[in-house]
Structure 1
Amino acid sequence: MTDVLARRVQASPDATALVGVGGAEWTYRELDEHVERVAGRLAALGIAGEHLGCLLETRPATAVLVHAAARLGCVLVPLNTRLTPTELDSHVERAELAALVCGADTADTAVELSVDVPTASVDDTEHTEITVLDSVSPAEFAPASRDADDPAVMLATSGTTGEPKLVVLTTENLRSSAVASAFRLGITPDDRWLDPLAVYHMGGLAPIVRSALYGTTVVIPGEFDARATLNALERFDCTGISLVPTMLRRLLAAGSLADSLRFVLLGGAPASEELIERCEKRGVPVHPTYGMTETASQVATARPGEAFAHTGTVGRPLLDTDLSVLGGDGKSVDIGETGELVVSGPTVFAGYYGDPDATARAFSERGFHTGDVGHRDAGGRLWVTGRRDEMISTGGELVAPGEIARVLRSHPAIDDAGVVGLPDPDWGERVGALVVGDVTDAETVRNYCRERLAGFKLPRTIAFADELPRTASGTVARRVVRERLLDNGD
């Protein structure tokens, strides 16, 4: 698994590996030759077996770097291109990068880092302190070999509960995740997977790694635009795409998805029941999924039939993934009861880099404690209702914010909602909701909820916004939501 591309080129050298912006195509043989040159240039700069930072948007050059890093035995560290240099400094320093690779659009950020790290660019640049990779003569090198449990990638968590941690994923984590996903989605050699997500998320990195393992094609269209993405799906006969709910909503608003699609892998955030119902009406083969960085992507995924028949479920755990739902006493809860989701299996990460205390806190003899809460129904399907640390305790009752948010999103005029607990002198906490949509009357919202929720679950404080504040990784910024509600709530 160290270098899946090298093995793939032996098996299917003439198959299409990569389609880029404008329709440029590379076979696996051509991609392998390009990767060999880039790996040689990195080797000439003394970069082999080290931690290699990647400050690139998702583009063909990024796919080449992913494979070149594997060939050199580097631990790839994709960095969030949306962060400021000040925010990135902490990531770069904690990751102990030996070098950083950027592009023309991220070179300014790279040179403004206060952490001193050698930097190379996949594009021409005016920054003299950055080495242009194409100007470096490739050096000879021996392809790296590493064991299945050796680190391959480090990705940052979202940081919603504090400073982001660096998740160490091994080659076996990536391989096991790819295999399990293939069984659930039904991957075939003819599949073409469009990848509009950022590689600093597992959802964007996975299609690049998995395509070489499967021998399928990955289509990288560049920056996400709804109309351009719809055109790319149609033009390149794409059979699959990875999306977050916001992207899918924009695609549905922009037009019809390509008839060639067999799966729309939907993750990164909870999908509203309204969105799943729209997919059913329009024949979109949506596969709602639950996963996280620490599990190399998917934990559970529902196929369309299951998603439509049981709106809100994320399906059953994938192959070789063991999922437990534990109560506060550490014991499994009964079917239908809410508890913390604990995962074990070959996709579960090796630990948080440089943070043994956080790693120890995250694990027990049952596995990795996700911090998410949910339940299983009688059919074994998983329902994720929120985060353990987000649970709202009001008057002695526990309220899952995810449940309230789903009810709010089911309102025809509400597009999205962020739900948090707010301090309350009488009840300890009260439910607060920041609402996005074509509605501005708090009492109208409360009356809608009153018909669908118990009294203690009703949002007592409601405010309205054009969009939800989010972290750099796209998750709802709960602290900002709470501040807005305290400042502007009714």
Structure 2
Amino acid sequence: MRDLLATRARASPGDAALVDDASGREWTYAALDAAVERTAGRLAALGVTRDDHVGVLLETRPAFVRLVFAVQRLGATLVPLNARLSPTELETQRERADLVLLACEADTEADALTAAGAVPVVSVDEPTDSGVRVLGERDPEDVAPAEWTPEDDLALLYTSGTTGDPKPVRLTFGNVVAAAGASAFTLGVLPDDRWLCCLSMYHMGGLSIPLRCALYGTTCVLQRGFDAEETARALAEHDCTGVSVVPTMLDRLLRADAELPDSLRFVLCGGAPTPPDLVAACEDAGVPIHPSYGMTEATSQIATARPAAAYSNPETVGRPLFGTTVTVVDEAGDPVPTGETGELCVSGPTITPGYYDAPAANAEAFGPHGLRTGDVGYRDDAGRLYVLNRRSDRIITGGENVDPGRVAAVIRSHPAVRDVAVVGVDDPEWGERVTALVVPEDGVALDRDALETHWEGRLAGFAQPRTVAFVDDLPRTASGTVDRAVARERARAAADDL
């Protein structure tokens, strides 16, 4: 098979492929294909060939989309880099990914130059440094579109690194196609769908949107960064039928009191656990939320709940996607009965073949039941999946194991609690102390006594937080998950103040 865009452009050349919300410019699939052909020719003129690794250090914009498909056209591997990282972090990731070229934009040029080392840097904008080449000024070479097999590496994406150093995840052509199909079955994709991308495309949640739209023949609407009011406007102005967000973004959309359009059929919410009260707020507002559990290693989604299932079971992430098998295992790696908690292992056609050039990490990550996610959860009698927390987040206090996800769920169910994170901090007597960072609802008075009354009888004595700190918000990573390292530091500070 040829690259996704070339295949789609032959099938539906006149259909709308891409809309840039910032400029209002639109591309048909034929027009986007022609632009990508020129970009691929320019990359070829810079020496990019099949199987090369090409880094991209850009925020979401049409130039990013062109690079995604241009790298595919050459049979090379795309390596999106997080534009919010420090130059030192970027340098480490550049070295690990074996880049032959690094593409940047005006806002990331300085960081790209610092991180690139001997790797050539090319900009999609007019550079300020003479050492940076201008992509648009290269004369395109003629390009023979590469043929792809399901096993070929389409992209290397780095994990979020919330539990250690970020690792480059190999995602194959087959992974991407399988993930798109499985997602379509769950979301109910239609020919005229218009999917708003307001996520960063260096994360799989954002990158997946233009890739999937090319497979479906639907329209990708790009918004250059999230703003609640502007995102609501873009959804309405472009008659969007779908959008991908993290829970914090969705919460801000609802709190902005902006009316979401009737055209909206699916709101895919992932990247972090979706609080049950956010699901309830969506039901009240008529927002078709699809809470989702996924990870980069699974090419995004693992399980997704449709709105009706989410409304009736607000803590679930739904059933696994078509073709994905989730096995819950105990400490010995053996499957546990329905309803029992354990580590989630996943297998299927969307799962990465492994981390790039990391045999030790691969040996640790994969077992008889597939990829060991490091996440703790369980399944109910109806096959619905519930994700509690990271296995590494488990707290051991006084010899008892505490799953912070269960503790957080109980606290979060208090009507005056907007959000909560539960972590363990060192304790000389108990080993670890269960500590809760609690975000109260705006304008609502909340104290520890009220929480103790709420969790009494719902939590075992050893699982009840010994320290409660009330905070304005929770620290989060760029992908929207709670930054547990920072949360622990805040928790330690709160414990020291007692």
Which bin holds the TM-score, normalised by the shorter protein?
over 0.9
Indicate whether 1:448 and 2:451 are aligned: no
The offset of 1:143, in angstroms, is: 1.4
TM-score, scaled relative to structure 2: 0.95
Which stretch shows the higher mean deviation, 215-224 or 109-118? 109-118
Q: For residues 285 and 477 of structure 1, what CA distance do their matches in structure 2 show? A: 28
> Residues 431 and 461 of structure 1 are in contact (CA less than 8 Å); yes or no, is this contact kept in structure 2?
yes
The offset of 1:354, in angstroms, is: 1.5
Partner of 2:215: 213
1:341-352 equivalences under 5 Å are 341-352=344-355
Q: For residues 254 and 24 of structure 2, what CA distance do their matches in structure 1 show? A: 23
Q: For residues 452 and 114 of structure 2, what CA distance do their matches in structure 1 show? A: 48
Which stretch shows the higher mean deviation, 439-448 or 80-89? 439-448
Q: For residues 15 and 300 of structure 1, what CA distance do their matches in structure 2 show? A: 31
Q: For residues 98 and 58 of structure 1, what CA distance do their matches in structure 2 show? A: 22
Q: 1:205-247: CA deviations, max 9, x gaps?
A: 0011000000000000211111110000001100000000000
Indicate whether 1:180 and 2:176 are aligned: no
> Which of residues 107, 113, 129 is equivalent to 2:131?
129
Question: Which secondary structure does the structure 2 equivalent of 1:319 belong to?
Answer: coil
Question: Which secondary structure does the structure 2 equivalent of 1:421 belong to?
Answer: strand
Indicate whether 1:463 and 2:469 are aligned: yes
**1:114–1:125: structure 2 CA closer, same or farther, 3 Å change rule?**
closer
Q: Match of 2:97, as an amino acid?
A: A
Q: For residues 339 and 269 of structure 1, what CA distance do their matches in structure 2 show? A: 19
Partner of 1:414: 417
Q: For residues 482 and 2 of structure 1, what CA distance do their matches in structure 2 show? A: 48
Partner of 1:7: 7
> Residues 151 and 170 of structure 1 are in contact (CA less than 8 Å); yes or no, is this contact kept in structure 2?
yes
TM-score, scaled relative to structure 1: 0.97
Indicate whether 1:315 and 2:339 are aligned: no
> Residues 16 and 28 of structure 1 are in contact (CA less than 8 Å); yes or no, is this contact kept in structure 2?
yes
Partner of 1:248: 250
The offset of 1:398, in angstroms, is: 2.1
The offset of 1:395, in angstroms, is: 2.9
> Which of residues 62, 86, 89 is equivalent to 2:88?
86
> Residues 17 and 214 of structure 2 are in contact (CA less than 8 Å); yes or no, is this contact kept in structure 1?
yes
Structure 1 unaligned blocks of 5 or more: none
Partner of 1:117: 119
The offset of 1:200, in angstroms, is: 1.5
Partner of 2:342: 339
Partner of 2:161: 159
Q: For residues 91 and 161 of structure 2, what CA distance do their matches in structure 1 show? A: 15
Indicate whether 1:380 and 2:383 are aligned: yes
> Residues 2 and 171 of structure 1 are in contact (CA less than 8 Å); yes or no, is this contact kept in structure 2?
no
Indicate whether 1:19 and 2:19 are aligned: yes
> Residues 157 and 202 of structure 2 are in contact (CA less than 8 Å); yes or no, is this contact kept in structure 1?
yes
Q: Match of 2:3, as an amino acid?
A: D
1:4-403 equivalences under 5 Å are 4-20=4-20, 21-49=22-50, 50-113=52-115, 115-254=117-256, 255-403=258-406
Q: For residues 453 and 116 of structure 2, what CA distance do their matches in structure 1 show? A: 52
The offset of 1:440, in angstroms, is: 6.5
Q: For residues 99 and 409 of structure 1, what CA distance do their matches in structure 2 show? A: 46
Q: 1:279-311: CA deviations, max 9, x gaps?
A: 011110000111100010111111000001111
Q: For residues 469 and 249 of structure 1, what CA distance do their matches in structure 2 show? A: 15
Q: For residues 415 and 19 of structure 2, what CA distance do their matches in structure 1 show? A: 38
Q: For residues 48 and 402 of structure 1, what CA distance do their matches in structure 2 show? A: 46
Q: For residues 380 and 478 of structure 2, what CA distance do their matches in structure 1 show? A: 33
Q: For residues 462 and 358 of structure 1, what CA distance do their matches in structure 2 show? A: 36
Q: 1:362-384: CA deviations, max 9, x gaps?
A: 11121111111111101110011
Identity %: 55
Q: For residues 428 and 30 of structure 1, what CA distance do their matches in structure 2 show? A: 62
Q: Match of 2:38, as an amino acid?
A: R
> Residues 200 and 225 of structure 2 are in contact (CA less than 8 Å); yes or no, is this contact kept in structure 1?
no
Q: For residues 403 and 223 of structure 2, what CA distance do their matches in structure 1 show? A: 38
Q: Match of 1:141, as an amino acid?
A: V
Which stretch shows the higher mean deviation, 88-97 or 120-129? 120-129
Q: Match of 2:402, as an amino acid?
A: V
Q: Match of 1:478, as an amino acid?
A: R
Which stretch shows the higher mean deviation, 308-317 or 421-430? 421-430
Question: Which secondary structure does the structure 1 equivalent of 2:115 belong to?
Answer: coil
Q: For residues 198 and 143 of structure 1, what CA distance do their matches in structure 2 show? A: 27
Q: Match of 1:356, as an amino acid?
A: P
> Residues 54 and 102 of structure 1 are in contact (CA less than 8 Å); yes or no, is this contact kept in structure 2?
yes
> Residues 435 and 463 of structure 1 are in contact (CA less than 8 Å); yes or no, is this contact kept in structure 2?
yes
Which stretch shows the higher mean deviation, 469-478 or 324-333? 469-478
> Residues 17 and 211 of structure 1 are in contact (CA less than 8 Å); yes or no, is this contact kept in structure 2?
yes
Q: Match of 1:236, as an amino acid?
A: H
> Residues 2 and 73 of structure 1 are in contact (CA less than 8 Å); yes or no, is this contact kept in structure 2?
no
> Which of residues 466, 483, 487 is equivalent to 1:477?
483
The offset of 1:435, in angstroms, is: 2.1
The offset of 1:114, in angstroms, is: 5.7
